[in-house]
Amino acid sequence: MWARIARLLFAVGLPVFFLWLFFRSIDIHQLRNAVAGVSWWGWSLLVIAALVQIVHLVLRSARWRIMLRPMKPEIGFYNLFSTVSIGYLVTMLLPGRIGEVLRPVLLASRERIGKSGALATVLLERIIDGICIVVLLAAYLIFFMEPMAGEAQVAAEGMARSWGVLLGALMVLALPVLWGLVHFRKKAAAVIEAVYPASKPGGVALRTIFHGIVDGFEVLKGGRALIGVWAYSIVIWVLIAFSIWFSLLAFEIRIPIAGSVLMLAALAFGIAIPTQGGVGTYEFFGQQALVLFFGVDQTQAGAAILVLHIFAISPTIILGLIFVWKEGLSFQGLKDQARSVKDNSPSGPDGTPRAAEIET
In a domain? residue 213: yes
State how far the Cα of 288 lies from the Cα of 181, in Å rounded to an integer. Answer: 39
Inside any domain, residue 95: yes
DSSP string for 260-301:
HHHHHHHHHHHHHSSSGGGTTHHHHHHHHHHHHHH---HHHH
pLDDT digits (tens, 9 = 90+) for 106-160: 998 889 888 877 888 888 888 888 888 887 887 787 777 765 544 444 545 555 5
**Does any domain span residue 6?**
no
**Is 16 a member of any domain?**
no
- Does any domain span residue 1? no
pTM: 0.78
Say what percent of the chain tops pLDDT 90. 29
Which residues, 6 or more positions from 152, have their beta carbon under 8 angstroms from its beta carbon?
none
Q: Which helix (H) or strand (E) segment is 114 a member of?
A: none
What domain count does the chain have?
A: 1
Could you report the per-residue pLDDT of 177-211, keeping only the tens digit for each? 666 766 676 777 777 777 777 777 766 666 666 76
Comparing CA positions, the residue from 29, 123, 54 lying closest to residue 314 is 54
Within a domain: 14: no
Cβ atoms of residues 315 and 46 within 8 Å: no
Note the pLDDT tens digit of each residue in 235-264. Answer: 999 999 999 999 999 999 999 898 899 899
Evaluate whether residue 8 is within a structural domain.
no
Evaluate whether residue 7 is within a structural domain. Answer: no
Residue 216 belongs to domain spanning: 21-357
**Backbone phi, then psi, for 353, in 5-degree steps?**
-70, 140
CB 38: neighbour CB atoms within 10 A? 18
